[in-house]
Amino acid sequence: MRPGSVRTLGVRPAVQAGRFYPAAPETLRRQVAQFLADARPPAVPAPKAFILPHAGYPYSGPVAGTGYSLLARERGRIRRVILLGPAHYVPVNGMAVSGMQAFDSPLGRVRLDEDSRCRVLTVPGVEVNDDAHAPEHSLEVHLPFLQVALDDFVLVPILVGRARVEEVMEVLEALGNGPETCTIVSSDLSHFHDHPTASALDAATAERIVGLDGDDLTGEDACGCRAIRGLLWLAREHGMACTLLDLRNSGDTAGDRRRVVGYGAFAFHEEATRGVAAG
């Protein structure tokens, strides 16, 4: 579908409220605010991009909160968020944007950026596909964090399916990387290993991401691997560095240590403090 044929169809409801995160607005706002307050991120320059997880809040919320506590410091400056995540429910060839005007959250309505949508629809492999967006949690779970961390912003939600890294790179380039923009890639890390195995695998993945050399990452390493590879290209192209903010798994937060999912929080920023954060 091309820009001239895009029709805004309405508002996508918060279908995962009450499942991945609380549906009651007061409870949800309080929980997200607590994740941000409990975070102890390292000192880094103002981040331009993040990789953050997307599981149920008891499991990945503390790790996501580490990243969003840094984004909250940019409140008032960041006015546009580009949010990329994997499609878990509906197969997507290439990438899918939404034709909706807004996405709902228990904390209110998030407006979509129509200008950005039209811009990315000029990139081969990008289409409007609200069937893929309708059930998807990988983007929805970030909305309450964004609403608590930021003031007024518009959203560019993109599901990355069977897309080549060159296509992801072209989308990111088309959208631009100005001072008002933050790019967030939604991804968990390894899935369903025991705690020691997952910890070792995720540490190796984190080292590759921090080194900006994760071009061969697969879905076994991170479910958002295709978007991650595009973000690593953007970081190299624009002279950004990556700092690991947090690395835990569901066995560390709220789950059984015999079968865990890994979560990492990474910030991309100017070169000044490149490296893995200690402690």
Residue 4: is its pLDDT beyond 70? no
Share of the chain above pLDDT 70, in %: 94
The 10s digit of each residue's pLDDT in 226-262 is 999 999 999 999 999 999 999 999 999 998 999 999 9
pLDDT at 270: 86
Q: Report the C-alpha gap between 117 and 125 in whole angstroms.
A: 13
Q: Report the C-alpha gap between 9 and 2 in whole angstroms.
A: 15
Residue 136: is its pLDDT beyond 70? yes
Q: Report the C-alpha gap between 31 and 160 in whole angstroms.
A: 29
Q: Please check whether residue 51 is in contact with residue 140, taking contact to mean a CB–CB distance below 8 angstroms.
A: no
Q: In a 3-state reduction of DSSP, which class is residue 275?
A: strand
Residue 8: is its pLDDT beyond 70? no
Domains of the chain from N-terminus onward: 3-276 (3.40.830.10)
DSSP class of residue 246 equals E
Q: How confident is the model at residue 19 (pLDDT cuts 50, 70, 90)?
A: very high
Mean pLDDT of 89-93: 96
Name the pTM for this structure: 0.93
Residue 271: is its pLDDT beyond 90? no
The 10s digit of each residue's pLDDT in 26-77 is 999 999 999 999 999 999 999 999 999 999 999 999 999 999 999 999 999 9
Cβ within 8 Å of residue 87, ≥6 positions away: 96, 132, 136, 138, 159, 160, 161
Mean pLDDT of 201-211: 98
Q: In a 3-state reduction of DSSP, which class is residue 98?
A: coil
Output the average pLDDT for the chain: 94
Q: Please check whether residue 98 is in contact with residue 157, taking contact to mean a CB–CB distance below 8 angstroms.
A: yes
Q: Quick one: which H or E segment has residue 182?
A: strand 181-186
Residue 126: is its pLDDT beyond 60? yes
Residue 273: is its pLDDT beyond 90? no
pLDDT at 143: 98
Count the Cβ atoms, other than its own, within 10 Å of residue 256. 10
What are residue 241's DSSP bridge partners?
Answer: 269
Q: Please check whether residue 51 is in contact with residue 209, taking contact to mean a CB–CB distance below 8 angstroms.
A: yes
pLDDT at 265: 98
Helices (H), the chain: 25-38, 57-71, 114-120, 130-133, 137-140, 143-149, 165-175, 195-210, 225-237, 250-253
pLDDT at 58: 98
Mean pLDDT of 199-213: 98
